[in-house]
Amino acid sequence: METLDIKNIKPLTDFRNHMKEYINELKVNKKPIILTQHGKGTAVLLDADKYQELQDQIDFMRKVALGLDDIKHNRVHPFSDAVQEMDQIISQAETK
């Protein structure tokens, strides 16, 4: 992920007063905007496509972690066994 741009840290009040400009900035720059309230970060604005990209990355990493956990706990089967089992299922389906 990109590093945060210090110029993209804005007060919540400024966002409320210039919402349309902020949305246009998101569409053009695709960079997150950090909103602050009383000097502390309270929210992050993201372009919708960028948000979906992050969600997809999280989902992928979660699946990799599950796979690694399966390997660690020996919950795996040889690929050849899986192919053989699929061939059997296909053969049974074709005979019906």
Answer yes or no: is pLDDT of 1 > 60.
Answer: no
Contact 2, 31 (CB under 8 A): yes
Distances (CA, A) of 39 to 9, 11, 42, 54: 10, 8, 9, 26
Answer yes or no: is pLDDT of 6 > 90.
Answer: no
Query: HSE of 78 in the Cβ direction (CA atoms, 13 Å)?
Result: 3
| Confidence grade of residue 7 (pLDDT, cut at 50, 70, 90) | confident
Answer yes or no: is pLDDT of 35 > 60.
Answer: yes
What pLDDT does residue 96 have?
76
Give the contacts of 4 (CB within 8 A, at least 6 positions apart): 32, 34
